[in-house]
Structure 1
Amino acid sequence: MRLAAALSHRADLATRADALAQRAYRAALTQEGTTPVDDPAALLAEHEAVLAELEALVVRINLTNASTDVDGVPLTAALARRDTLRHRHRMLTTLAEQSTPRADRMRGAELRMLPTIDVAALHAGADRIAKQLRELDLRIQEVNWTTELG
C-alpha cells in the first residue's frame, strides 16, 4: 500500500470511529418502553476494533515517515515545516484582515480606525509563505504517492 493510500485510509478510520462514537452516545439513553435503534455495547466494541486498526496504521505511517526523505530532509521534518508554514500564513492573513479598516462607520461620526502595522507587507509575506507552502506540499504529496508503507 502506498503512503498516500494509507493516509486516506487513516482519515476514513478516524471518521468511522467518530461516527460510531456519535451513534453510541445517541443510543446510550432511551425512553422507558422503547428500544434504541443501535446497541451501544456493540457500537463500543466496533469502535474499539476501529481504534485498534487506526493505531496500528498510524504506527506504520509514522515509521514510514521517519525513514523517508523529501529532498534530503526526513519526511517528518518536512511535515513539521509544512505545519509551521500553515501557522505563519494563517497569522499573517488574519493580522492583515484585522488591520484593514472596515467601511462600517455610520455617517463618518465615529473615529477612524487606522492600522498599526504595514498591511501591504503582511500580504506580501503571506503570499511568499503561501508559495513555499504550495511547493512543499506538492513535494510531500509526490513522496506520499511513490513511497510504499513500511
Structure 2
Amino acid sequence: MKLAEALALRADTQKRIAQLRVRIAANARFQEGDEPAENATTLLAEVELAVDELEQLVRGINATNSVIELELAPRPARGTGGRRREVGAAGGQTGTMTDALARRDTLRLRHAIIVESAAAAQDSGVYRQMRSELREISALSVGELHAQATSLAQELRELDSRIQQANWSHDLIDH
C-alpha cells in the first residue's frame, strides 16, 4: 500500500470512528419498553476494532514518514538566465517527511499571519468627516506584506507538491 493510500484510509477510519461515537451515544440509553435502534454493545465492539485499525495505520504512517527523505525547500536557480527564485530559511536542505510536514505547518501559519497583518494594515475605508478627526496610518507596508505572502504561498505549494509526490512514490512500512 502506498503512503497516500494509507493517509486516505486513515481519514476514512477517523470519520467512521466519529460516526460510531455518535451512534453509540444515541443508543446508549433508551426508555423502558422500547428497543434501541442499534445495539450499543455491538457498536462499542465495532469502534474498538476501528480504533485498533487506526493505531496500526498511524504507526505505519509515522514509521514511513520518519524514513522518507525529501527536499524541504527548493534550491536556488543558478545560471539559468531567468528570474532567480527566493529561497526560504530551509534553503535547499533535505529532511524527513516528518520535517517536511512540520515545515508545511509553519509555512501555513506564517502565511496566515502575514495575510491577516496585511488585511489589518489596509485602509479600512473609514474616512474622517471633519478635519479635526485624527487620521489612521498603517504601521506596516501592505505591498511588502502581500509580496511576502505571495512568496510564502509559492514555497508552500512547492513543498506540498513534493510531499504529495513522496506520498504516492513510497510504500507504507508495515508496523
Map of 1:59-98 to 2, 5 A cutoff? 59-71=59-71, 72-98=94-120
Secondary structure of 1:30's match? coil
Alpha-carbon contact 2:2-2:171 (below 8 Å) kept: yes
* RMSD, aligned CA: 2.1
Separation (CA, whole Å) in 2 of partners of 1:37 and 1:106: 61
Bigger Rg, which one: 2
TM-score, with length taken from structure 1 = 0.88
The alpha carbon displacement at 1:32 in A equals 4.3
Cα pair distance change 1:149/1:34, threshold 3 Å: same
Map of 1:115-134 to 2, 5 A cutoff? 115-134=138-157
TM-score, with length taken from structure 2 = 0.76
Separation (CA, whole Å) in 2 of partners of 1:132 and 1:37: 51
Secondary structure of 1:73's match? strand
Structure 1 residue 50 corresponds to structure 2 residue 50: yes
Separation (CA, whole Å) in 2 of partners of 1:106 and 1:125: 28
Separation (CA, whole Å) in 2 of partners of 1:42 and 1:63: 32
Give the aligned residue type for 2:106. Answer: T
Give the aligned residue type for 1:122. Answer: L
The alpha carbon displacement at 1:51 in A equals 0.7
Aligned length, in residue pairs: 149
The alpha carbon displacement at 1:33 in A equals 3.5
Give the share of equivalent positions with the same residue, in percent. Answer: 43
Map of 1:1-40 to 2, 5 A cutoff? 1-40=1-40
Instruction: Give the structure with the larger helix fraction.
Output: 1
Q: With a CA cutoff of 8 Å and minimum separation of 6, indicate the structure with the bigger relative contact order.
A: 1
Moved more, 22-31 or 64-73: 22-31
Give the aligned residue type for 1:118. Answer: S
Unpaired segments ≥5 residues, structure 1: none
